[in-house]
């Protein structure tokens, strides 16, 4: 995976503001932050996303996500955290190396993400969708 930007960051070939590291993962600041402290947690091993990752990798990534969340709350005074993972092009995954966005939130009045989320609610037939899922 010599072309992968995040593999290059893992290997230290590309600069990033690394704020956390353990045996399996690193975490570094997103180059285009939504909020101060917006961080990406990535496994050192290249895997595309949560759908391709093995359980040990998923476990290591989400354990690191929690550690990073606590760090951002302690050091930056965040009062909440949004955790986002985009898996696949349809979900707007741009970098095809598993990463979890950890986005510190500071102000309950800052509607940002939540506003976007709530504005896009669709009127759907839940009964029909439920039947497709369980059949
Ligand atoms: P995705 O849409 O794939 O979930 O998000 C990829 C994220 O990676 C974006 O938020 C983008 O700003 C970030 N990103 C892309 N290239 C780089 C880079 O070279 N360095 C860092 N630190 N972040 C990057
Ligand atoms: Zn990679």
Whether 38 sits among the annotated catalytic residues: the reply is: no
Whether 121 shows a pLDDT value over 90: the answer reads no
Question: Which residue has the CA at smallest separation from atom 16 of ligand 1?
Answer: 31
Domain count, the chain: 1
For residue 119, name the pLDDT band (cuts at 50, 70, 90): confident
Range of the domain at 97: 5-127
What is the 60 CA–ligand 1 centroid distance (Å)?
Answer: 20
Question: Which residue has the CA at smallest separation from atom 5 of ligand 1?
Answer: 94
Confirm whether 135 is domain-assigned.
no
Whether 67 shows a pLDDT value over 90: the answer reads yes
Please tell me the number of the ligand nearest to residue 45's CA. 2
Query: What is the reported pLDDT for 114?
Result: 67
What is the 71 CA–ligand 2 centroid distance (Å)?
Answer: 25
Confirm whether 133 is domain-assigned.
no
This prediction's pTM: 0.93
The pLDDT of 39-52, averaged and rounded, is 98
Confirm whether 62 is domain-assigned.
yes
Domain at 29, CATH number:
3.30.428.10
Confirm whether 132 is domain-assigned.
no
Q: Is the CB of 91 under 6 A from ligand 1?
A: no
Cβ distance 4 to 13 under 8 Å? no
Q: What angle do CA 100, 92, 83 make, to 5 degrees?
A: 25
Confirm whether 21 is domain-assigned.
yes
Confirm whether 113 is domain-assigned.
yes
Confirm whether 34 is domain-assigned.
yes
Task: Of 4, 80, 85, 78, give the one whose Cα is nearest residue 45.
Answer: 4
Query: What is the reported pLDDT for 1?
Result: 59
Cβ distance 4 to 46 under 8 Å? yes
């Amino acid at each position: 995976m010599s072309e992968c930007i995040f593999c290059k960051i893992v290997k230290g070939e590309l600069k990033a503001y690394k704020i956390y590291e353990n045996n399996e993962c690193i975490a570094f600041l997103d180059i285009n932050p939504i909020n101060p402290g917006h961080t990406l947690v990535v496994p050192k091993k290249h895997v595309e996303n949560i759908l391709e990752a093995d359980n040990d990798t998923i476990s290591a990534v989400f354990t690191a996500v929690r550690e990073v969340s606590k760090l951002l709350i302690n050091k930056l005074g965040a009062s909440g955290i949004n955790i986002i993972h985009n898996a696949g092009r349809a979900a707007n995954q741009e970098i095809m190396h598993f990463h979890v966005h950890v986005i510190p939130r500071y102000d309950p009045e800052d509607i940002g993400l939540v506003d976007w989320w709530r504005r896009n609610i669709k009127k759907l037939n839940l009964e029909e969708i439920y039947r497709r899922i369980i059949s």
